[in-house]
Amino acid sequence: MSEANSNSANASAVGTSAKLMPSGYSSFLIRRAMPDDIEAIAHVEIAAAEAEGRLAPLDFSWLELCDVWHKRMLSGKFEVLVAVQGTNLLGFIGIIAPRNRDGFIQAIYVDPKYFRRGIGSALLAQAELIFARNRCPRVVLYVEPLNHNGQRFYRRAGYHYINKNFRHLNIWVKEISSC
């Protein structure tokens, strides 16, 4: 059975191995990122950052982003999940989920070709399982003030703006009890 036409789950959660999620059109797999995913992660971030309403352009080249994600993955501090369909990387989320402390979403990016197919929501849901497992009281993230679509995405997932900023970025949170 190929990933493209399967709608059935193949594992319980990312915490064990991987999960197949139905999307609007076909299925994709969510699993932990591996070093071989880094080049595609950097490509997706650069493409999707165009839709982020950034006040300043992303100031990393593709090569620099590869290095950033390589270091993050090696640090042991970050958990990175990817949504894939076959060899195609559709999106990713990078989080920090310290035990009994607030969790943080560093980045969530979906390849613009696959926007609005539930991929971002599925990545976020899997990340929230990790936050809950690590008993993070809240999940915190920063959003560009002009990223109205990203804000809609987070609002729909139960996050809210707390009227505080980090530099120019809006701080949004979600209580873990509602995750």
Ligand X SMILES: CC(C)(COP(=O)(O)OP(=O)(O)OC[C@H]1O[C@@H](n2cnc3c(N)ncnc32)[C@H](O)[C@@H]1OP(=O)(O)O)[C@@H](O)C(=O)NCCC(=O)NCCS
Q: Which is nearer to ligand X, 29 or 48 (CB)?
A: 48
Place of tokens 């996050």: 159
- Produce one character per residue of 95-112: b if its CB has 16 or more CB atoms within 10 Å, e if not: bbbeeeeebbbbbbbbbe
Residues forming contacts to ligand X in the complex (CB under 6 A) are 48, 51-52, 108-110, 115-121, 143, 147, 149-150, 152-153, 156
Query: Rounded distance, CA 114 to CA 91, Å?
Result: 9
Is 99 or 138 the residue whose CB approaches ligand X more closely?
138
Residue 19 C-beta: closest distance to ligand X, Å? 15
Instruction: Give the DSSP H/E element, type plus range, for residue 78.
Output: strand 78-85
Nearer to ligand X, 72 or 100 (CB): 72
Across the beta sheet with 160-166, what order do the strands follow? 18-22, 27-32, 78-85, 88-96, 103-110, 138-143, 169-175, 160-166
Rounded least distance, CB 110 to ligand X, Å:
4
Closest residue to ligand X: CB criterion? 120
Shortest reach from residue 8's CB to ligand X, in Å: 20
Tell the smallest beta-carbon distance from residue 168 to ligand X (Å).
Answer: 13
Q: Closer to ligand X by CB, 11 or 51: give it.
A: 51
C-beta of 12 vs 149, nearer to ligand X: 149
Q: How far is the CB of 49 from ligand X (least distance, A)?
A: 6
- Cβ distance 92 to 108 under 8 Å? yes
